[in-house]
A and B are shown apart, each in its own frame.
Chain A
Amino acid sequence: MTATGSSEGRAGVEVRLEHLTRKYATTTALDRLTLTLAPGELVALLGPSGCGKTTALRLLAGLEEADSGRVIIAGKDVTNVPANRRNIGMVFQAYSLFPHMSARQNVEFGMQLQHVGPAERRERATEVLDLVGLAAHANKFAHQLSGGQQQRVALARALAIKPKVLLLDEPLSALDAKVRARLRDEIRRVQLEVGITTLFVTHDQEEALAIADRVGVMQSGHLEQLGPPTEIYSRPATPFVAEFVGLTNRIKGEVHGGTVDVRGTRIPLVDPDVDDGPATALVRPEAVTLASNGEMEDGPLVGTVIAIAFLGAMSRVTVDLGDTIVLAQMATSAASQTPAGTKVRLTLRPDPVLIQREQPAATAP
């Protein structure tokens, strides 16, 4: 590949954030965050706004200073190195292109600051613009480019300085859905091609799961769970993760000796080591299936379909059980068997679930 060919020193350094803490006047944005990015890995930090994910990225970039903790890039402690000497590529949320420079000038600017000669600058700019698929638009200005194209240029600009680390701060959040999905895959392709260690910050769980090697879910300044996307989704470590990533049904149940009894169905627990008593089970919509065969006796899992949301190949069916509402997700062909108004019986797949205790004082899993 053209870009990787000229970037020997770039591919893959290790990045370590150690016990990073950052307090603002009234809030703690980051609370002893520790995170290691393996060489060439793409880690996505996911969380609601204010969870500290952006602060973590800005501390790594050097745009803000930590109250305590260390930032180590390629084995070197850079905690006290200013942003402009960290050699980190950064892509911002939006509007970060210099509006008075063409795409090419934007890309060349960083190299200019590094005193790269004009000929090489030109060559490398062409190379990275080509890498992001924008070679044809090199002479356009930001206001002549679409939002997606602007972010591609921003990516090219960040990569042109051959940074050790690439930081992406919600780079897709200002774009519309279609462009977002395409550019997301594009970013991943480029990142794999260049092999650069990357931190990607987002509040969009779909984005994080689709792009990352590992996803870190954050809440109030600390990591709730860090792991591969499949693990985050199918084995959430905490109720927060379960609810933040994907849709979750909250159904009341009763814990008995390591399992939870939900409306007559016994489901194993992710963490069986909890006290007996009432609890809310967090059940994924895809763990709910439904059947309809004419006359049905009333029962705890019998209810009426009240809505069907068509999502393409999959559909989401909303079932009213009388005292609660449950979502089920299934193939559209299956969902069309039970139009709104149909009486159905639900079946809960016995995948291990997380529970949440009603009393705030109860133990968290």
Chain B
Amino acid sequence: MTAASSPALSSAARPLEGGRRPTLSWVGVVPFFLYVGVFLLLPTAIIVGGSLLTPSGSLSFANFEGINKPYMFKAFASSIAISAVSAVVGAFVGALLAYAVVTGKPDGILRRTVMSGAGVLAQFGGVTLTFAFIATLGTVGFVYVFLLQHGIDIYARGVWLYDQAGLTLIYLYFQIPLMVLVFAPALDGIRPQWREATDSLGGGTWHYWRYIAGPLLFPSFLGCTLLLFANAFSAYATASALLTQGGVILPLQIQFLLTSETGSSQPGYAKALALAMIVIVLVVMTLYTLLQRRTAHWLR
């Protein structure tokens, strides 16, 4: 098997040991599997086991019942609302930006700059990003003060920056670049011949978008939106740095359970929440994959 898959190697190296090769081959990957076993697979097992098993080892949903509380539902709902809104808005705006980019020169400086910038900003988040928005739109922030001096008070009905609305706005800062990165390839797959074919068949701009480009791009757009949803749903650092009151969204509930008395007395609760998050992200990413596969042979 392994010996056969690399005959040249085995004959060059140790021609007489062919029979023992399979065992030897595994030695090379032991460190890797040991490492990910301890720091990735074991933690995953701890989450799954810790949330579904009682201390005695039998299957139980007690932990899920334990977190079956109104404030948890509220956190769930907020998490989903923030992720959904930032995903949908991010997807639309990101798609516009991606379109503006791909309609330019394919190797132009603008395109390279925007794509590199998007690569950087899609990873930007956490404390630094939060501070950037506080410095911009906080109550002593540059833009807020500037607008106030010109008679526009964006906080006339309360300061919403430290609220879910603010969090959603801040999330857009990495959602839009992520959309550009994942959606630009789909736009690149749209061939100019399709537009010209539509023209020659008597169709205008509206017909082109309604019957050709729209249906072609929609599955991919939807898939990218789901990816953005998963991205926002997993985000923790930004919210943690921005929101002073705890538990507004799911990751902050986990933070609370990990650092509070309640959490240490009921360690299964945090694991149950973590498992719920993993399952949601997994489902969303699977849908994303199915949608991507659907358009794979269209937009090659």
Q: Do chains A and B touch in the complex (CB under 8 A)?
A: yes
Contact status of A92 and B202, CB under 8 A, knowing A100-B298, A143-B297:
no
Q: Are A90 and B200 touching (Cβ within 8 A)?
A: yes
Chain A residues near B216: list those with CB within 8 A.
Answer: 98-100
Taking the complex as formed, is A158 at the interface, i.e. its CB lies under 8 A from any CB of chain B? yes
Q: Are A96 and B191 touching (Cβ within 8 A)?
A: yes
A223 CB to nearest chain B CB (Å): 24
How many Å lie between the Cα of A324 and that of B199 in the bound state? 53
Taking the complex as formed, is A161 at the interface, i.e. its CB lies under 8 A from any CB of chain B? yes
Contact status of A95 and B191, CB under 8 A, knowing A84-B202, A114-B202:
yes
Q: Are A98 and B200 touching (Cβ within 8 A)?
A: no
Residue of B196, B197, B199, B297 touching A98 (CB-CB under 8 A): B197
Taking the complex as formed, is A61 at the interface, i.e. its CB lies under 8 A from any CB of chain B? yes
Among B51-59, B63-71, B204-212, B270-278, the stretch that binds chain A is B204-212
A88, A95, A96 — which one has the most chain B CB atoms within 10 A of its CB?
Answer: A96
Interface string of A137-166 (1 = CB under 8 A from B): 000000100000000000001100100000
Interface string of B189-205 (1 = CB under 8 A from A): 00101101111111110
Contact status of A84 and B297, CB under 8 A, knowing A92-B196, A98-B197:
no
Q: Are A96 and B201 touching (Cβ within 8 A)?
A: no
How many Å lie between the Cα of A84 and that of B194 in the bound state? 13
Find the A residue at minimum CB distance from B299: A99
Interface string of A95-120 (1 = CB under 8 A from B): 11011100000000110011000000
B236 CB to nearest chain A CB (Å): 39
Q: How many residues of B contact A (CB 8 A)?
A: 20
In this complex, the interface size class of chain A, counting residues with CB under 8 Å from chain B, is 20 to 34
Taking the complex as formed, is A85 at the interface, i.e. its CB lies under 8 A from any CB of chain B? yes
Q: Are A96 and B202 touching (Cβ within 8 A)?
A: no
B181 CB to nearest chain A CB (Å): 23
What DSSP secondary structure best describes chain B's contact surface? helix
Taking the complex as formed, is B215 at the interface, i.e. its CB lies under 8 A from any CB of chain A? yes
Q: Are B202 and A87 touching (Cβ within 8 A)?
A: yes
A313 CB to nearest chain B CB (Å): 39
Chain A residues near B204: list those with CB within 8 A.
Answer: 84
Q: Are B197 and A90 touching (Cβ within 8 A)?
A: yes
Q: Are A84 and B193 touching (Cβ within 8 A)?
A: no
Q: Are B207 and A113 touching (Cβ within 8 A)?
A: yes
Chain B residues near A110: list those with CB within 8 A.
Answer: 201-203
B206 CB to nearest chain A CB (Å): 11
Chain A residues near B203: list those with CB within 8 A.
Answer: 84, 109-110, 113
Chain A residues near B299: list those with CB within 8 A.
Answer: 99
Chain A residues near B202: list those with CB within 8 A.
Answer: 84-85, 87, 110, 113-114, 161
Taking the complex as formed, is A89 at the interface, i.e. its CB lies under 8 A from any CB of chain B? yes
Taking the complex as formed, is A47 at the interface, i.e. its CB lies under 8 A from any CB of chain B? no
Chain A residues near B193: list those with CB within 8 A.
Answer: 92-93, 95-96
Residue of B200, B211, B297, B298 touching A158 (CB-CB under 8 A): B200
How many Å lie between the Cα of A133 and that of B203 in the bound state? 26
A-B contact pairs, 21 of them (CB 8 A): A61-B199, A61-B200, A62-B199, A83-B196, A84-B198, A84-B199, A84-B201, A85-B202, A88-B200, A92-B193, A92-B196, A92-B197, A96-B191, A96-B194, A98-B197, A98-B212, A100-B215, A109-B201, A109-B203, A110-B202, A167-B200
Known interface pairs A62-B199, A96-B191; 14 further A-B residue pairs with C-beta atoms within 8 A, sorted by A's residue number: A61-B199, A63-B196, A83-B196, A84-B199, A84-B201, A84-B203, A84-B204, A86-B200, A90-B196, A96-B194, A98-B194, A99-B299, A110-B202, A143-B298
Interface residues of B (CB under 8 A from A): 191, 193-194, 196-204, 207, 211-212, 215-216, 297-299
Ordered nearest first, which 7 A-B pairs have the shortest CB separation?
A: A110-B201, A90-B200, A83-B199, A96-B193, A99-B298, A113-B202, A143-B297
